[in-house]
Amino acid sequence: MIRFFRSGNPLTVLLLLIYTLLVKFYYLLHPAAYMADGSEGLLYDLLVKWLHILMGNSPFFFTSLAILLILLQSLLLTKIINHHRLFPKPTYLPAMCFLLFTSLLQSWNTFSPALLVNVIMLWVFSSITELYTRTSARDVVFNIGFALGVCGLFYFPAVIFCLLLLVSMLIMRAFRLAEWIIAILGLICPLYLMGTYLFLTNQMALLRKIPNIGLSLPMITDYKVWGAMIACLLFFVLGWLLLQRPLKKMLIQGRKIWAVLIIYVLVAVMVPFFNVEFSPAYWVLAVLPVAMFAGNVFWSISNETFANVVHFIVLAYMIVMQYFS
């Protein structure tokens, strides 16, 4: 099976769709409604209310929508990877890994602010990869900052991804104070526009919902969460270690993009700790960049039989956690 995903053949998208139905079938059989734990942002509340009016409180609809978002993210991730040639040849392995690893925990397949933020973050990451080749990047950094501000309206702790932007600018470009100021202005702009709209429409009470942030250091006791975390961490570390040799042969831009991905993972892991109420569901933000390192694990295993064995071990663990735990 790994052989098919290793290929960059566009027909692999059909296999990816079948694979999605395989690993997500349990969640379609046991759908969950949208997430509402008090950490969601103002735009997310408005979107959920609109969907609720349109489709009612249907768990199957919201779970199906969440799975479609995950599939879309896997395809967009593949497009970015293959465009920048982060692997020696076009491949769908990171997309497969993202679908597989998000299936380890049910809350990662529930419609949530994090899944919406992930879609925007793919555009943000794609824009960050272009910074290295730009002579002037003021428009790009403003747009990235603006996108992160929109993320904050869906899920306010996502504004912490501004750290990713600032560190990425240090990695991809020489320091220019003007670009940093423009990036911060871009981040503030959506919050300012939303505040202005609420003021003009006499809905100032909703302003209190925008800065929805806290700090929590929870004690995690759910063994499923620990299992999913350990699996992601293991493949992240292995993927990074196996990347060291091919990294030396890459162009400078490719090396810098992988360095940005390291920062992406570290920042995404921190974000859920700034929830009003901690929830491991928001670690799906970190699974997205981790999938690229996991894809590198499967790419680096030259023995196809061994690669399939590793894949089926993770797949078997996923099935046990879904159906028999």
Q: What percentage of the chain reaches a pLDDT higher than 90?
A: 60
- Domain boundaries along the sequence of the chain: 1-323
**pLDDT at residue 36, rounded to an integer:** 83
Q: What is the 8-class DSSP label of residue 92?
A: -
pLDDT at res. 137? 84
Length of the chain: 325
pLDDT of residue 298: 94
Locate all alpha helices (DSSP H) within 39-176, ordered by sequence. Answer: 42-55, 59-83, 93-102, 113-129, 138-154, 162-172
The answer to whether the CB of 169 falls within 8 A of the CB of 206 is no
> Pick from 10, 21, 93: which is nearest to 63 by CA?
21
CB atoms within 10 A of CB 252: 8
Amino acid code (one letter) for 63: T
pLDDT at 185 over 80: yes
List b or e across 261-287, with b for residues whose CB sees 16 or more CB atoms inside 10 angstroms.
bbbbbebbbebbebbbebbbbbbbbbb
Query: Token pair 């933020």 is at which residue?
Result: 117
Stronger pLDDT, 2 or 212, i.e. the higher one: 2
Residue 54: per-residue pLDDT: 84
Query: pLDDT at residue 296 above 90?
Result: yes
End-to-end Cα spacing for the chain:
26
Which two tokens mark 227?
């299992």
| Nearest CA-CA partner of 16 in 7, 5, 26 | 5
User: What pLDDT does 261 receive?
Assistant: 95
| Measured torsion, CA atoms of residues 263, 265, 269, 271, in degrees rounded to the nearest 10 | 60
pTM: 0.93
Query: Which pair of structure tokens corresponds to residue 229?
Result: 């975390």
pLDDT tops 90 at residue 293: yes
Tokens (6 digits) for 282: 């928001």
Other CB atoms closer than 10 Å to residue 73's CB: what's the count?
A: 23
pLDDT at 4 (0 to 100) = 87
Q: At residue 232, what is the residue type?
A: C
Weakest-pLDDT range from 71-75, 85-89, 314-318: 85-89
Tell whether the model's pLDDT for residue 144 goes beyond 90.
Answer: yes
- 270 vs 303: CA distance, rounded Å: 36
Residue bearing tokens 């679908």? 99
Dig out the tokens for 153 from the structure: 């309206």
Helix (H) or strand (E) holding 194: helix 177-200
Q: Could you report the per-residue pLDDT of 190-218, keeping only the tens digit for each?
A: 988 988 888 888 887 777 777 778 787 78
Q: Are 149 and 190 in contact (CB under 8 A)?
A: yes
Distances in Å between the Cα of 8 and the Cα atoms of 2, 12, 84, 120 are 12, 7, 14, 24
Structure confidence by residue, pLDDT tens digits, 215-261: 877 888 889 999 999 999 999 999 999 998 888 888 888 899 999 99
Q: How far is 100 from 85, CA to CA, in rounded Å?
A: 23
Q: What is the tens place of the pLDDT at every residue in 159-181?
A: 999 999 999 999 998 888 899 99
Question: Tell me, what's the pLDDT at 112?
Answer: 93
Cβ neighbors of 36 (< 8 A, separation 6 or more) are 48
Considering the chain, what percentage of its residues have pLDDT values greater than 70?
100
Q: For 234, what's the count of Cα atoms within 13 Å in the CB-facing half-sphere?
A: 10
